């Protein structure tokens, strides 16, 4: 099938499903409002949510444009090597966050990731991270909003500006009214709506191509060839669809980029901080890792189905860009009714991603910028008001940054470039500072700053033709690795020349300065074997390794 127009033949039933969803998410936001009395209720759900809710919200917050459109585009472009983003590039970092890092986050009672840096290092480090995080969140919110608008324009015929305004207005309404609880409970709902929308695409698509065996045969005959069916084959060189060496995959993606994203990205960590106690906070990312294992079935597999059923997919411009893999399948495969569910699921995914960015932005802006550096010692009601205004501001700026994303034919490449710039140096500063108590406050600031500059320089030199990489994604892997190494070198050089903090100032923030009590706030049932973060984490790591076996 050719690309032609992407316009979907939606009927009254399909639009009815979409309207019902919009009404429901707004209702959830207004229902959550009743529980908001303080700023902690608004920004962190009063730290009262059970682990299964925060766990599903944790994975749903990541199911935005990056995941649905970006991973399907990567499935079509790079084949099975896209699985690395899940089984190496997500699950190990999610387990590490739950077992190793959440005790420090949750135990120190910080309200955000930048606040941890202020306690561990100093105020300049705190401000640098708060500002860079705020910029990153509105940029990534713009990606989700632009992708949502693009899909609504292509599928429903809505003008781009109308789609952007409608999507932004609904997200703005339920977060401004319901705070983080409104976002989280909607993310749980959106998780199931997203799956309900994507599963029919996968099932009907597989039936169309003759099942899994038929799909594999078709991929072998496509431009990807046999290489599209393997994950680690030919990674001893860069002669593979991803154009990446296994060192870049393991160190750049599997360690720096993924640990940087999952362990220090406050838009994710915020969901765990809203859990009702330490055990629930630690289990949050580990519970999320289980659905993360199998999400490629509804993202990567449809990408491959699009590759073999849509003629000409992979054009630089127009309706046949890789980013349109999922919309093209929806157009070609789904009957009315099911089509409405799929469109709703797609829209839900963008809203979940944008809501995560906006709720992270409003918290950091209020606590880490406004309260810390502009107006201190005001009433709690004042900061609650600032948080709601920051939500409006974040969405408005997100509307502006939505058009920056328009310059990238593969949204995933843009997102990964942002991650290598903002998350990789932050993770390196974090992990060294968390395990090396001698690292000084000055070293923390200079390391974070120099790592960010090194990553930005790598990106600009690549775009300027000075440095050569096989693909945009390989540049992201190397940019992240260079940022990490830069942070480590600066930390080692600067620390001996500057004064560290005393042990008593670091208690509960750094390994080796006094144990954190993991059971002080325990609830009945927390000691049950199936609630052990270590056991749950070990099982999901084993499963991620076993899943590679059929596609090595």
CA-closest candidate to residue 134, choices 295, 458, 369, 330: 369
- CATH number of the domain residue 73 falls in: 1.20.1730.10
- Inside any domain, residue 87: yes
The 10s digit of each residue's pLDDT in 47-93 is: 888 999 999 999 988 886 667 888 999 999 999 999 999 999 999 99
- Inside any domain, residue 237: yes
Strand residues in 146-249 grouped as ranges (E): none
Rg, the chain, Cα only = 22
Range of the domain at 236: 12-407
Cα–Cα distance between 406 and 161 in angstroms, integer?
13
- Inside any domain, residue 2: no
Phi, psi dihedral angles at 27 (to 5 degrees): -65, -40
- Inside any domain, residue 115: yes
The H or E element that residue 153 is part of is helix 123-156
What's the longest Cα–Cα distance across the chain?
A: 70
Burial of 2 (0-12, 13-18, 19+ CB in 10 A): exposed
Cα–Cα distance between 226 and 365 in angstroms, integer?
49
Question: In sequence order, what are the residues at sequence separation of 6 or more whose Cβ sits closer than 8 angstroms to the Cβ of residue 212?
Answer: 206
Count of structural domains, the chain: 1
> How many C-beta atoms surround the C-beta of residue 401 within 10 A?
18
Residue 1: what pLDDT?
43
pTM (2 d.p.): 0.87
> What sign does the CA torsion over 198, 203, 209, 212 have?
positive
- Inside any domain, residue 279: yes
Q: Report helix, strand or coil for 439.
A: coil
- Inside any domain, residue 461: no
Residue 186: what pLDDT?
85
- Inside any domain, residue 85: yes
The 10s digit of each residue's pLDDT in 62-72 is: 886 667 888 99
CB 11 within 8 A of CB 17: no
Which residue ranges in the chain fall short of pLDDT 50? 1-3
> What sign does the CA torsion over 502, 508, 509, 513 have?
positive
- Inside any domain, residue 374: yes
Burial of 64 (0-12, 13-18, 19+ CB in 10 A): buried
């Amino acid at each position: 099938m050719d690309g032609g127009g992407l316009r979907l033949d939606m009927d009254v039933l399909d639009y009815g499903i979409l309207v019902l969803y919009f009404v429901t998410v707004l209702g959830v936001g207004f229902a959550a409002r009743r529980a908001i009395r303080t700023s902690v209720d608004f920004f962190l759900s009063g730290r009262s949510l059970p682990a299964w809710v925060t766990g599903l919200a944790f994975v749903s917050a990541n199911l935005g444009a990056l995941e649905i459109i970006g991973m399907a585009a990567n499935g079509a472009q790079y084949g099975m090597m896209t699985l690395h983003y899940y089984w190496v590039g997500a699950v190990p970092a999610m387990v590490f966050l739950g077992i190793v890092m959440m005790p420090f986050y949750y135990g120190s009672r910080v309200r955000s990731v930048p606040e941890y840096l202020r306690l561990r290092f100093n105020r300049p480090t705190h401000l640098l991270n708060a500002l860079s995080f705020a910029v990153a969140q509105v940029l990534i919110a713009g990606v989700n909003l632009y992708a949502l608008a693009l899909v609504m324009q292509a599928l429903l015929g809505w003008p781009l500006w109308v789609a952007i305004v409608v999507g932004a207005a609904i997200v703005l309404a339920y977060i401004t009214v319901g705070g983080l609880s409104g976002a989280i409970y909607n993310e749980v709902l959106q998780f199931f709506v997203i799956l309900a929308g994507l599963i029919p695409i996968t099932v009907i698509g597989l039936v169309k191509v003759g099942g899994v065996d038929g799909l594999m045969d078709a991929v072998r005959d496509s431009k990807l060839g046999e290489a599209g069916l393997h994950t680690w084959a030919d990674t001893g060189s860069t002669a593979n669809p991803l154009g990446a060496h296994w060192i870049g995959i393991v160190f750049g993606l599997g360690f720096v980029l993924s640990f940087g994203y999952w362990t220090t990205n406050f838009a994710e960590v915020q969901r765990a901080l809203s859990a009702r106690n330490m055990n629930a906070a630690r289990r949050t990312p580990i519970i999320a890792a289980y659905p993360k294992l199998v999400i490629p079935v509804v993202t990567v597999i449809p990408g491959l189905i699009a590759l073999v059923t849509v003629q000409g997919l992979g054009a630089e411009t127009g309706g046949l860009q890789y980013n349109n893999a999922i919309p093209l399948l929806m157009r070609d495969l789904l009957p009315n009714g099911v089509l409405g569910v799929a469109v709703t699921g797609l829209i839900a995914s963008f809203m979940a991603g944008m809501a995560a960015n906006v709720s992270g932005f409003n918290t950091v802006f209020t606590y880490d910028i406004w309260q810390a550096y502009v107006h201190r010692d005001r009433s709690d009601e004042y900061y609650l008001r600032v948080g709601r205004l920051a939500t409006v501001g974040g969405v408005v700026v997100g509307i502006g940054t939505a058009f920056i994303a328009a310059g990238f034919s593969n949204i995933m490449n843009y997102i990964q470039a942002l991650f290598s710039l903002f998350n990789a140096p932050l993770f390196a500063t974090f992990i060294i500072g968390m395990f090396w108590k001698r690292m000084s406050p000055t070293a923390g600031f200079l390391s974070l700053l120099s790592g960010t500059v090194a990553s930005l320089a790598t990106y600009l030199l690549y775009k300027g033709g000075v440095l050569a990489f096989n693909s945009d994604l390989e540049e992201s892997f190397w940019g992240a690795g260079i940022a990490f190494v830069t942070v480590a070198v600066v930390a080692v050089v600067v620390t001996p020349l500057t004064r560290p903090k005393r042990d008593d100032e670091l208690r509960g923030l750094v390994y080796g300065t006094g144990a954190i009590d993991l059971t002080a706030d325990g609830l009945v049932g927390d000691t049950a074997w199936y609630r052990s973060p270590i056991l749950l984490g070990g099982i999901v790591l084993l499963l991620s390794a076993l899943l590679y076996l059929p596609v090595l």
